[in-house]
Structure 1
Amino acid sequence: MRLIADRGLARGAPENSLGAFAAALSAGFQGIKTEVRLTADGEAVLFGHRLSCNGLPVQALTRAELSQAQGYLVPTLSEAVDAFPEAFWMVTLTAGAAAPAVFSLLQQLGMRREIVITSLRHELALRAAELGTSECGLTVCHRPAALNALLYAAMPHRRLRSLIWDYEAVDAPLLQQANALGFRNYVYGAQSEAEHMLCHSLALRGLITASPECAGLTPPPPLQ
């Protein structure tokens, strides 16, 4: 099971920064889960929130303005993937505006990087899957009444075979059913050590967490 750092390891660097990504990989995480948004000047940046520290929407700011507001250089998706080419990347599309830039990058990279494109907006994941240049997944924060209904649209797309579940929405039988249908399961949202231990006992491809200690890793000391 892969351990995937949620927005990197934000102990001595801002979340979703190159420093946080480097710290997570140094701590033993195999992958990074991050979010991509589009700035006013068309940059696909990695940023977890809709609003910056000054309360303005990310999409209303240039990358330089966003970086100034946050106090660090907000990385682009391209910069992060190039900086850590061996990492497994789980990139969440937060809105349709960023999709063209992300899809263009995926077409440039081909299959030379290990990237899974996910979204709560399942139509965006379907659009990414149609390109055929990256693995794709559906982020799911509810327990479906019928798993087949959730997966119906995904079945024709062979690269859309990942499910990213909220911890509170899953149980072992549901994950086993998804596995039997050929889907890879990831879980996010585990908080306590006991919840992390339970995830280790489930049929998961990966665990997305912000807590290396609960996941059994020893984080490096913060940079001085």
Structure 2
Amino acid sequence: MHLLAHRGCTQQHPENTLAAFASALALGFTGIETDVRWSLDGEAILYHDRLSPRGQAVAALTRKELSHQAGFIVPSLNEALDAFPDAFWNIELKTPDGLASILATLGKIQHKTPILLSSFYHPLIQEAANTLDTYLGLLFASRPLSVNTLLEINYASSKINTLIWDFDVLDSLYLDEARRLGFAHFVYGASNEIEHEWCRKLALAGIITDYPEWVGLTSVPRLQ
């Protein structure tokens, strides 16, 4: 099972920073979950929120401007991949902006760096399936009505082989049905020790978490 640090280890470092990623890997995480957006100056940057701390659209800011507002250096996708080429990366596409450039970047390293590319914006992953051979996943914050949804996904592309679930909508029977169709499962959003233990019993491919102590890794004190 992959243990992925949600935006890195954020107990001591700002999320989605090189320091947070390094700390997570040092604790024993298999890899990192991170978020990609496109900056005004044409860079794939790792930043979760749609708006900056001052309420401006991230897409309307250069990386330097966003870093100034955030109070830390916002890394680029290239910097992170270069810094940690052996980590398992779950890269979430937040918007269609810069998609061709992002896919080209991932295409150059996909055979040496393990990558799970995912998005709530499912057409982006279908587009990625046309050019990439890496793991491709769909994020879900709601449970599909029926297994027919999964059959439609299979029909759209056999390369899309991973489903990433919000803990709130986990359904063990539905997971079993999807597994029989060839889908692997990841989960995010578990918030306490009991929820993490339940996830570990579901034969998941991975858990994306903010809590190293609840997946058997050594924790560090959280900043107050």
The bucket for the TM-score relative to the shorter chain is: over 0.9
Is the counterpart of residue 176 in structure 1 residue 205 in structure 2?
A: no
Shift of 1:11: 1.7
Scaled by the length of structure 2, the TM-score of the pair is: 0.95
For 1:102 and 1:11, the matched residues in 2 are separated by 29
Is the counterpart of residue 204 in structure 1 residue 201 in structure 2?
A: no
Report the equivalent of 2:122: 122
For 1:151 and 1:43, the matched residues in 2 are separated by 36
Report the equivalent of 2:65: 65
For 2:110 and 2:86, the matched residues in 1 are separated by 15
Shift of 1:110: 3.5
Shift of 1:203: 2.1
For 1:190 and 1:220, the matched residues in 2 are separated by 19
SS of corresponding position for 1:187: strand
Deviations 1:9-36 (A, max 9, x none): 1122100000000111111110111110
Report the equivalent of 1:106: 106
Superposition RMSD on alpha carbons, in Å? 1.6
Structure 1 runs not aligned, ≥5 long: none
Letter in 1 for 2:195: E
For 2:133 and 2:161, the matched residues in 1 are separated by 14
Letter in 1 for 2:38: L
Identity %: 43
Deviations 1:11-67 (A, max 9, x none): 221000000001111111101111100000010000010111121111000011111
Report the equivalent of 1:190: 190
SS of corresponding position for 1:34: strand
Report if the CA contact (8 A) 1:165-1:185 is conserved: yes
Shift of 1:73: 1.1
For 2:2 and 2:46, the matched residues in 1 are separated by 21
Report if the CA contact (8 A) 1:176-1:203 is conserved: no
Task: Flag the 1:110–1:31 CA change in 2: closer, same or farther, 3 A.
Answer: closer
SS of corresponding position for 1:89: strand
Letter in 2 for 1:3: L
Deviations 1:100-139 (A, max 9, x none): 2211101222422101110101100100111133211100
Shift of 1:171: 2.0
Is the counterpart of residue 51 in structure 1 residue 61 in structure 2?
A: no
Report the equivalent of 1:2: 2
Report the equivalent of 2:36: 36
Report if the CA contact (8 A) 1:135-1:159 is conserved: yes
Deviations 1:61-98 (A, max 9, x none): 00111111111111111110110111000011110013
Scaled by the length of structure 1, the TM-score of the pair is: 0.95
